[in-house]
Chain A
Amino acid sequence: MSRLTGFLPPALARPFAVIGGLLFLIGAMLPWATFLLNDGPYPDKATLQFFDAPLELTGYRWNVLLFGAAAIIATFAPTPGKARVLRALGWGGLAISAISSIFIAGKGGGLGAITATDGSYAFGGIVGAVGGIVLILAAGAMPLPDIPHWSTKIFGLEGWAGRIAAWVALLIAFAAVLYMVQLTLTVGGIGGAAFPYAGPIFLAFLGFAGGLLGALHGMGITGWVSRLSEENRAFSIVVLLLCAFALPFTEAGNQYWMQVAATIGVYAATAIGLNIVVGLAGLLDLGYVAFLGIGAFVAANLSGAAASTVGWNIPFPLAALLSAVIAGIFGAIVGSPTLRVRGDYLAIVTLAFGEIFYRTAQNNIGTLTGGASAIPGIPPITMFGTAFNEPIKLFGTELPTGVLYYFLIVLVVAAVMAVFANLKNSRIGRAWIAIREDEDAARAMGIATGRAKILAFMCGATLAGLAGAIFVHKLGTASYDSFKFLESVTLLAAVILGGMGTIPGAVLGASLLFVLPEKLREFEDYRLLVFGLALIFIMRFRPQGLVPDRVRRAEFAGETAEGKSIEEIQEKAVLEQELELEREHEAPSGPKEAGR
């Protein structure tokens, strides 16, 4: 990206930005495919003629149109963080156009879908992509502004009026988040053979969402909202929980999406647990999924399933607690080598533990795991006389099957988040971070590093065990195959992709890694390949993750916690030091001054 800066002379920045925006507008209104694709028409009227019905556009073409209009307005209006906004819009539009065009060309038999032999054309995607590039170049020619820092005092209001204004702003922001989440789940519909367009539509939507978020971030709005919610913590937590509970009442409230959301929740809870070990304490754990597995098998044996050996039937809360505790004990065992082993050797030890768990579970050790035939027929959770896999009626709305699991998991994820946040800011949390940064220094500061590290493993394992208990009830079977090495890698990737050491990071990472395969069913074969490549690229280009921890971002990107370049600060410091030295040379300071 830095190579694109200064490609254009600054004088051309504005005209180019306008051209880019116009290209978006034109591209959106041009047709994007010349004929009906094999699996039916590509949605959103891809075969419309130019200007046929520009106001009826929906979906990705509407998004491009929106970005074009926004870019033109942003060019002329006094937009805060202008270059950043234009750059985000450019990349977003480019992503939407490129993804859609590539898919149309690929599905529609090559370029034929873009220029047909009968002379009809469908350059919409290409025009849009060019517009994106032009816009990015234009943004690169502008001076890159600092991200604006808005005051959290809305209109300078004080006291109750200010607080209410903040609440209203937060309500609007969270409602928007809820809407985006709902849209993210449902956009493009359910992937798979029945609807092959789900994948590209979803990816194009991600391009839109990314561009939008980037633009908002560039204008300083996301930062402002997060500061606002920081100041009104209790209120934000309540509203966010309400939003999560409101999801089943939106369009996403059908059985399928509730199930997907519940699965994501389980992995998100697990990922937050892993985040304690990896993100906070900096101990790479490559066998983490084993704890999910231990929790799952314990809960399976305590569920009263006919196929389980223990076969006790104890109430779910108790069983979940036991699962968590036993997983925690194993966490302490697995963590104990940390007393002697460091760095990547530790990663290998945890990998070995994970593999031992997998193999022993596969061989049905002590007939506890069912081996190759798994433990089938685990009954759903039953609490308060309701089986959790039944549809319920709430506030006059018929809610789909599985919604109770969703509610339960929302609560669990919220609890796990609370645990994580409190741990992070506690004495032990700071000890973990100290160990992550420099173990020897931490020890020198009086931290009992061994105990802290084992505690990190225990906490992480406990959370995973709890998640495992829900996981197994929701799934209905406990099979060793759900806990293989690749699952550990996936969870790790979720933590890293999201950003190590942050809560939203782990949740976002888990959501992305588990929603994407759901949406891209068609490309299921390539899932792991893309996944492996993604790991390589993240480490190469954005090792701090999507939602970086402030301290961690500083470490990776050479920036301070405020987002300023360390290099610049260092240069400044060096200059100042030199100046100081010069001054000292000119006027040798007396002993009194030197003592200061």
Chain B
Amino acid sequence: VGTLLQQIANGIVLGATIGLIALGYTMVYGIIQLINFAHGEVFMVGAFGGLAVYRWMLPVSWQEQWYIALPLMLLGGVVVAVVIAVIMERFAYRPLRNAPRLAPLITALGVSVALQEAIRIWYPDADAAQPFPRVFIDKQITIGPVEISASGLLLIAVSIGLSILLQAYVSRSRMGRAMRATSQDRDTARLMGVNPDRVIVLTFILGAALAGVGGVLYGSWITNVDNSIGFQNGIFAFTAAVLGGIGSLRGAVIGAFIIGLIKNLGGQYLPGGTQYDYVWIFVVLILVLVFRPQGLFGEAERVRA
């Protein structure tokens, strides 16, 4: 039972990370029906942005104080992620908005590869995994048989907190209403005085900010990062978004926790062990897409090419 609970706890922390990414996937897909493959890389870039702040901008004395270092690193991660996402939207996706459906998807693949490689080539030493400082209180917290790091708990808290905030923003605020309107019918929204371009950029910004936060917190939880964390976690997050019903914020977060649990429990209890944990996630992805493409919370499938 001890292992089971421990694996569940690990799964929930992973799920919290994935959830922060999945929100971006699901929002972008909800608005422009684009699988933004490069969103995982935004998460990765965010982690490296936070690392850059820690390494080259914080004086040594501040590095020790988590209540100074962590907010600044989060800010750095978010800024880098948002800038990259906005550039990406403006120069790669926007010109293709009326192109055939496959074109932006292929572009997204290109952006993903290019970002991974750009980090590997130009970020100092990033051709190998980089140690990430455990900025938050470096302590293991024991709850009964379960041991979880303080960073892990922080990740869970932030992830849940931010998704509630986002949900509130999208359902209550003026811009949130504009977002929902745009996702339902872009042309009608335009007639109602919504500027779709602005809404789309805002969507990318929100998604990137969450991914940036996720990247920094994930780094300080796992304590090392490399340029492939984005692709892996991005796929997980995409699976989570689909599982929850793409376009649904609540679904994305719940899907993320389910995926986190599947990965850890599958690695523990299913045949093949941790070597096959990825395989289970992909199997889930295929099964969901084939048998319930609208996911757990999504609306019924809309027909589109």
A residues near B, CB below 8 A?
A: 282, 284, 286, 337, 340-345, 347-349, 351-353, 355-356, 359-360, 362-363, 438-440, 486, 489, 492, 496, 525-526, 528-529, 531-536, 539-540, 543, 555-556
Contacts and interface: CB of A to CB of B under 8 A. Distances in A.
A348 B275 contact: no
Contact of A535 (B113, B115, B276, B282): B113
Given A363-B275, A438-B305, A525-B121, A536 B114 contact: yes
Interface stretch (B134-142, B205-213, B286-294): B286-294
A131 B35 CA distance: 44
A535 B283 contact: no
B242 A348 contact: yes
B106 A529 contact: no
Contacts, number: 124
B105 A347 contact: yes
Interface residues of B, number: 43
Interface in B84-133: 92, 95-96, 99-107, 109-118, 121
Interface in B211-234: none
B290 A532 contact: no
A484 B292 CA distance: 28
Contacts of B235: 351, 355
A355 B272 contact: no
Closest 10 CB pairs of A and B: A535-B110, A532-B114, A532-B113, A529-B117, A352-B282, A536-B110, A539-B107, A528-B117, A532-B110, A363-B275
Nearest to A347: B105
Q: In terms of DSSP, what is the predominant structure of the interface of chain A?
A: helix
B293 A540 contact: no
B103 A356 contact: no
A530 to B, nearest CB: 8
A492 B304 contact: no
23 contacts: A340-B291, A342-B304, A344-B105, A345-B242, A345-B293, A348-B289, A352-B283, A355-B278, A363-B276, A439-B305, A440-B303, A489-B109, A492-B106, A528-B116, A529-B114, A529-B117, A532-B114, A532-B116, A535-B109, A539-B99, A540-B107, A543-B103, A556-B100
Max count, chain A CB within 10 A of own CB: residue among B99, B102, B121, B283: B102
A438 B305 CA distance: 8
A337 B289 contact: yes
B103 A539 contact: yes
A543 B99 contact: yes
A537 to B, nearest CB: 8
Contacts of A440: 303
Nearest to B303: A440
Contacts of A526: 117, 121
Contacts of A284: 102, 105-106
Given A349-B286, A543-B99, 9 more contacts: A284-B106, A340-B293, A343-B101, A348-B242, A359-B279, A489-B109, A532-B117, A543-B100, A555-B100
Contacts of A540: 92, 95-96, 107
B278 A349 contact: no
Contacts of A286: 109
B204 interface: no
Contact of B101 (A344, A351, A359): A344
A294 to B, nearest CB: 16
B27 interface: no
A363 B267 CA distance: 14
B238 interface: yes
